[in-house]
Amino acid sequence: MQRRFLAALTTLTLVALTQISASAAEHRIVKLEESAPADSVSKEVAAQLSETGISIYRGETRKVCDIWLFKSITVPALKGKGDVIYPFSQGQMLGVIRYSRSGSDFRDQDIEAGVYTLRYAHQPVDGAHVGTSPTRDFLMLLNAEHDKVLKPASRDEMNEQSAEVAQSSHPAILSLQKVSGDSKAPSIRENAEHEWWIVRLNTNAKVGDEVKPLPLDLVVVGYASE
């Protein structure tokens, strides 16, 4: 009896250590010297994407995802207003993301391997979303094979198409955070409190005739606690 108890305790300990090791695994970024896959995005979208992207890895070999942002994004200002951080318009496309294997979003929903557009959205202000994120700024994932035009998508369009990506009633989302620290893009940092890995990306904001760098902090690994 005692041997069986010790064997069971050892098994539980090993499982716990494996889970801790997986969540604490170091993540890194690598510059991706290739453009987004032409057979997965429309010509209109491809023309706006940077010729190079970044890859995020867990450990040495396990790739999390690839990201390509637009070369420049037209915005009304360089900063958001009120309780939003970024100056993008809701429904505006910012780039694409590719999962070479299944992944997960900020709600810990499963995301199948594939290529998805990234569209900007605000978290609704209602009781259902209280405490889920310190920010209201998000990116919704839409299937790139269906999301082919650059014009901003309506909230209903995004919700419907993004929920299909997550195969649930809730859109597939990645959380944007306030830019923190002086790290230059591209870089990655850990928020140990939440077990988030946040990648620093950079695009160019076009305000009228002026173009300036605009950094973004995006949670690529980890999910909301509530």
Residue 210: pLDDT band (50, 70, 90) is very high
Q: Is residue 16 part of a domain?
A: no
Amino acid code (one letter) for 192? A
Q: Which residue from 148, 38, 135 is spatially nearest to 93, judged by alpha carbons?
A: 148
Query: Is residue 206, in this structure, part of any structural domain at all?
Result: yes
Confirm whether 144 is domain-assigned. yes
For residues 98 and 93, what is the distance between their CA atoms, to the nearest angstrom? Answer: 15
Residue 18 lies in a domain: no
Q: Find the mean pLDDT for residues 80-95.
A: 95
Domain count within the chain = 1
Each as own residue / partner, the long-range contacts of residues 98-101 (CB below 8 Å, 24 or more positions apart, any chain) are 98/36, 98/37, 98/40, 98/65, 98/66, 98/67, 99/64, 99/65, 100/63, 100/65, 100/66, 101/63
Q: Which of 21-30, 66-75, 121-130 has the lowest mean pLDDT?
A: 121-130
Average pLDDT over residues 27-53: 97
List, for residues 122-178, the tens digit of each pLDDT value. Answer: 998 655 544 556 789 999 999 999 999 999 999 999 999 999 999 999 999 999 999
Cis peptide before 186 (omega within 30 of 0): yes
Better pLDDT: 17 or 87? 87
Inside any domain, residue 48? yes
For residue 20, being part of any structural domain is answered with: no
Full-model pTM: 0.86
With respect to residue 98, please indicate whether it lies within any of the assigned structural domains. Answer: yes
Domain with 108, as residue range(s), is 27-221
For the residues 24-46, what does the mean pLDDT come to? Answer: 94
**Residue 155 and residue 211: Cα distance in Å, rounded?**
28
Look at residue 168 and tell me if it is in a domain: yes
